[in-house]
Structure 1
């Protein structure tokens, strides 16, 4: 990231989703910034003791963002910047009607509360690259203005398409509010728990037969860094977030020391569910396309307009997750290197 000073530092920041990894650790970072007078952390769930300690001087409000209490909090604390980090995939619970209501109705109420509060001048929304969908008709790279060839019809991607619509509607109705939408690629790291981290942690990894998905990752530290960067610097617009480079799903599985299990597309989610035995979140139907075809983002605007530069590449993110995360190899790195040497020797001999 650039070391330039942050102009127009917010005075009073409210962050939703304070019990989540991204929301909670963002609150902790903002609370350490002496230029910010007040940091308010909001969630209907109480954060872990570890997160609460890290939040330091931040004030925690236990409230439901779907309720009128949010608008009262914005007004009473004279909030000028809202970071909406609450929309969640809710891995442990799946995508139920209750989660959809929290994502969609909750976000609608956040935008409505911002609209009614004169002090609010900025909204930063954590969206997702899942809004692009994933199919065989996709372009090599998705830019922010690229329409999905097959828009998500259900699940988290569909939720966030609706949520982004509410955020843009707010920008039209209150033209004095700068709206920044961040679309992170699949987030990996040693601490954050996601469906992708659970999937890549499997010793035997079901993959779609006959397909080779192209993947990008965003390190958990870069996801936090991008949220903090966007909070401190007014850059309205929509921005893809991802580490440099691309890896295939096969490369990711092999680097983790795990084994691929090719299955038909329609059996991917059921087989993952059986192998995981309910211990960790299973793959949802809307993620099958991603694991078959992958998704790659154009991050030009992230660098040139937002001004953010990730510290980790896609490959470095994957390797850090493997090294420090909760995955352990079935086949060690030394074994893979031995097999690679034997394969190269055999190919040389044939030539």
Structure 2
């Protein structure tokens, strides 16, 4: 590795000459790859994904060599590339319509197993960075008020994504034990937010009427997408061994988030929301039991380790969320027509739930 001033941490750090970034067909992966490619001392960035990057991301990847590889089929061809750092971002939080939940698990769990097997055979590898999620803690009534990195889940998460995260982190812990020479960084991100962020949770909150759980007002944490990018790049360019919670300080409640967006909450029984997710394919952006549990119990994590190790404090959850609010050009959009459309969607949801329960 070459010691250079990267301009990211403000100090001189050891920049890896060759970096592999997985998941470059999505905005986060493409942006991380482009920023690392522009870092002095980095001679080559190799982007990996199972699909070609969409046209809107290709300008970002002009300095990146793109390899089309489906990790669920194996990652052996990465071994000879001489990578000194690898950042794994090809972890799906929801099915993408190309095979459903089974394909998602193959990509997440089997793909990560193949990738770690390839890393095991890379004598040049010095840093491994994994994008994980605070979903690893689950969400239940047994939870502590605040999770630290050492807190074990009090209940097995019900959603497929959270279970995938637990499996992936288990494989990474095994890799770290077998390869102490490799600095292994696991970043448990809170849900992303920001003007360019586009997640199922944000799509749900942007609906004119937001379904909530009757009698519940959970605490939520977010991380601004720009701060997430900063932490990812520092993790690739610096040595940060261990597991880190990545979230904006402070919390907002679900009711505060809805009010800031100028939307209206629609409280429904927990069973109704859960049934709609299971039988009707979700409501708006609510598409998994992980998200239903988040709407019931919330989740808050401690970020003291991140701040101490990185010397960087992300903007607060409230400030990050307000940046998302400012990007919603429609503002509060409760027109009569949209209210009628929302009522129709709710009726359709109820009919779908009833149909799903019919023997």
* TM-score normalised according to structure 1 size: 0.88
Mapped to 2, the partners of 1:66 and 1:268 lie a distance apart of 33
In the other structure, the counterpart of 1:214 is 219
In the other structure, the counterpart of 1:45 is 51
Matched, 1:160 2:152: no
Mapped to 2, the partners of 1:60 and 1:325 lie a distance apart of 33
Matched, 1:251 2:259: no
Structure 2 residue corresponding to 1:137, chosen from 114, 117, 142? 142
In the other structure, the counterpart of 2:234 is 229
Alpha-carbon distance change, 330 to 91 in structure 1, aligned in 2, over 3 angstroms: farther
In the other structure, the counterpart of 1:63 is 69
Matched, 1:241 2:246: yes
Q: Give the conservation status (yes or no) of the 8 Å contact 2:131–2:188.
A: yes
Q: Give the conservation status (yes or no) of the 8 Å contact 1:191–1:325.
A: no
In the other structure, the counterpart of 1:319 is 322
CA RMSD in angstroms comes to: 2.3
In the other structure, the counterpart of 2:331 is 328
CA-to-aligned-CA distance 1:147-169 (integer Å, 9 cap, x gap)? 11112144101001000011111
Matched, 1:8 2:14: yes
1:76-225 equivalent positions in 2, closer than 5 A: 77-90=81-94, 92-93=96-97, 96-225=101-230
Mapped to 1, the partners of 2:100 and 2:194 lie a distance apart of 23
SS in 1 for 2:13: coil
Q: Give the conservation status (yes or no) of the 8 Å contact 1:71–1:114.
A: no
Mapped to 2, the partners of 1:303 and 1:187 lie a distance apart of 18
In the other structure, the counterpart of 1:290 is 294
Alpha-carbon distance change, 66 to 158 in structure 1, aligned in 2, over 3 angstroms: same
Give the C-alpha shift of residue 90 in structure 1: 3.3
Q: Give the conservation status (yes or no) of the 8 Å contact 1:273–1:282.
A: no
Alpha-carbon distance change, 2 to 59 in structure 1, aligned in 2, over 3 angstroms: closer
Mapped to 2, the partners of 1:126 and 1:218 lie a distance apart of 13
Q: Give the conservation status (yes or no) of the 8 Å contact 2:137–2:153.
A: yes
SS in 1 for 2:47: strand
Mapped to 2, the partners of 1:5 and 1:228 lie a distance apart of 14
Q: Quick check: 257-266 or 91-100, which moved more?
A: 91-100
Q: Give the conservation status (yes or no) of the 8 Å contact 1:133–1:157.
A: yes
Give the C-alpha shift of residue 286 in structure 1: 2.4
Q: Give the conservation status (yes or no) of the 8 Å contact 1:206–1:272.
A: no
What is the aligned length? Answer: 328
In the other structure, the counterpart of 1:303 is 307
Alpha-carbon distance change, 66 to 273 in structure 1, aligned in 2, over 3 angstroms: closer
CA-to-aligned-CA distance 1:268-287 (integer Å, 9 cap, x gap)? 14557999998x54331222
Alpha-carbon distance change, 276 to 321 in structure 1, aligned in 2, over 3 angstroms: farther
- Stretches of structure 2 lacking an aligned partner (at least 5 in a row): 1-6, 336-359
- Stretches of structure 1 lacking an aligned partner (at least 5 in a row): 333-351
Matched, 1:73 2:78: yes
Mapped to 1, the partners of 2:282 and 2:130 lie a distance apart of 34
